[in-house]
Amino acid sequence: MNAKYGSILMLLLASSTLLNAQKSKSYDLKSPDGNISLHLEAADKLQWSVMHKGQSIIIPSAISLQLESGEVLGDKARIVSAPMQKANATIQAINYKKTSIPDQYNQLTLNCKGDYGVIFRVYNDAVAYRFFTRRKGELVIKAEEAMINFTDDHKAFIPIQWDYRGGQNFNSSFEALYHEIKLSQFPKDSLAFLPLLVDVGQNKKVVLLEADLEDYPGMYVDLNQTGKGFKGVYAPYPLEAQLGGSGGMNLIPSKRADYIAKTTGTRSFPWRALAISEQDKDLLNNDIVQKLAAPSRIADVSWIEAGQAAWDWWSSRTISHVDFKAGNNTQTYKYYIDFAAANHVKYIVIDAGWSDRMDLLKINPALNLQEIVDYGKLKNVGVVIWAYWYAVSQGMDKAFPVYAKMGVKGFKIDFIDRDDQVVVKSLYDIAKLAADNKLLVDYHGAFKPTGLQRTYPNVIGYEGVKGLENFKWANEDQPRYTVSIPFIRMMAGPMDYTSGAFRNVNQANFRPINNLPMAKGTRCNQLAQFVVFEAPFQMLSDNPTTYIKEQECTDFMTKIPATFDETVALDGKVAEYVALARRKGDTWFVGAMTNWTPRELTLDFSFLPSGNYEAEVFKDGLNADRDGTDYKKEVLTISSGAKVPVQLSGGGGWVARIKKVN
């Protein structure tokens, strides 16, 4: 090649590079307080990155939606407009940990050629984005690209899917302890579900979440090719399914499509969110999922009441000192109602066995459900009944009106165990029909909440957590887990952990028992969970006989509300300990818990308005390390601003009910 042609070629290459560079567009968006910076690059790929106070949190990470046609929304995006807006509003919350939520953010919307776009929001404690489309007809989503690239091989708390229902991937109870591992140690051929937490250094934690998940599959993550980040993975759309799995009552897809969703062409897709904290305790009072959720679709919410529920399943209806045979029968549930009424508990739950598993209208002849419900009305105690998701999905059109007319207050719906598009849509459909019939819903055996509880506030419970039921069969480090989930799983919303076990033991004395199960840790740890854990439908897991024998603790436990007007995070470290305060009316409740490490905390009561207060306190007894049931009750005088030392036994707790005296 001679010099003349070489120069021409170099000029053409330079012009091409310049042309490509001109096609790339970048955008920047900051949080209202200026601490979080979001940077976007729109070129061949649409990539986002995040900084917090100058520290790089997320390095360029690609996002896109691939359609069945082959079109990729986000690749080579041609930006038509990029308007910015600010929001500073207040959300009035229903059955939540606070009554009002400040909703302040800055937003950038990329409107792209092709009738689609992406919305980005930056809050003072979180970053989120979502795709939207404005097209006619139907869209088939082949795949979604959601990369989250971190700067280093950080330590993380990751719930790895393990209990494959029916032996199939994407079928799970969504219950797992956290793998506390480096990102690069993510197990091969595994998936993790959200939320999960990453320690990004400088005391900062990042929690990955999704919100407003409607008519779309939930997001799992796998390690991406960088070895220092995640990629989104989604259950393919189910084409055929068969009963199988746990007890033969899971609906297990036997054939899946090569796409993840078939949906309307004009819609918004789920939010992908990162919550960022400088102190672990800040995660205890983060509202990002509530902020991103769709507003309530129920005009009249006056009939929706949160509350505690006496529950039969955990202790296998094992009651004693009664003149009838305990079991799945009318006398047993009247006894539960009597207990609930005497202790001002709003509900009882009738768990599995009251009806045919497949046909909700076939009631077990051993009990008279109408008589039980009517007896509950006389005692001002509502009755909630359990059902398999499959039976509900097949029979709710007939069953919901029947049981609503009977006076049943709601359904606890179990063994959902999937989060593909079909199931996610089903949970919205169930919530809507239940609301139409003024029925409450508690989703058990379900994936994590993503805001449905705001959109349909009659959904007052969610499992998606490795709850107390596991003590019936597993010997695991639950005390560490119970001081991990408030910073991770509870970020997504309420969790039906089913607290309240009164057979409390240390690790050496624990053994799995089915009918009268034990719980690891102390009595005061269990009591503190009623304050720490967010649960608008709060189960009392143990049986009435046990609670009556321990009336002093029962009286305290049943005075703790299921929802609150205000929450204040006091102290905490992920997997180590947690302490927070919640207010209902003019009464404050404070709960603190630790893992197996005994420790002393100093709680700062500056959150109290000025004045003097009386605190009814339950704390670990001096011998709680040997006998978990050992506790001490005392009454303290506390003034606003007081610094109170709190001693926690291994697996222990401390809990207080505080009223102003002058």
Q: Which residues are catalytic?
A: 414, 469
* Distances, alpha carbon 407 to alpha carbons 10, 136, 354, 412, in Å: 81, 44, 16, 15
Query: Is beta strand 612-620 parallel, antiparallel or unpaired with respect to 631-639?
Result: antiparallel
Q: Which amino acid type is present at position 274?
A: L
Q: SS in 3 state form for 373-395?
A: HHHHHHHCCEEEEEEEHHHHHHH
Query: Do the beta carbons of residue 630 and residue 558 sit within 8 Å?
Result: no
- Cβ neighbors of 9 (< 8 A, separation 6 or more) are 1
Q: Between helices 389-406 and 369-379, what is the axis angle to 10°?
A: 60
Query: Do the beta carbons of residue 304 and residue 174 sit within 8 Å?
Result: no
Query: Is beta strand 219-223 parallel, antiparallel or unpaired with respect to 192-193?
Result: antiparallel
Query: Do the beta carbons of residue 365 and residue 327 sit within 8 Å?
Result: no
Q: Between helices 389-406 and 421-436, what is the axis angle to 10°?
A: 0
| φ/ψ (deg, to 5) at 647 | -100, 125
Please calculate the CA angle 237-240-245 and round it to the nearest 5 degrees.
95
Task: Indicate the SS3 state at residue 582.
Answer: strand
Q: 290: buried, middle or exposed (CB in 10 Å: 19+, 13-18, 0-12)?
A: buried
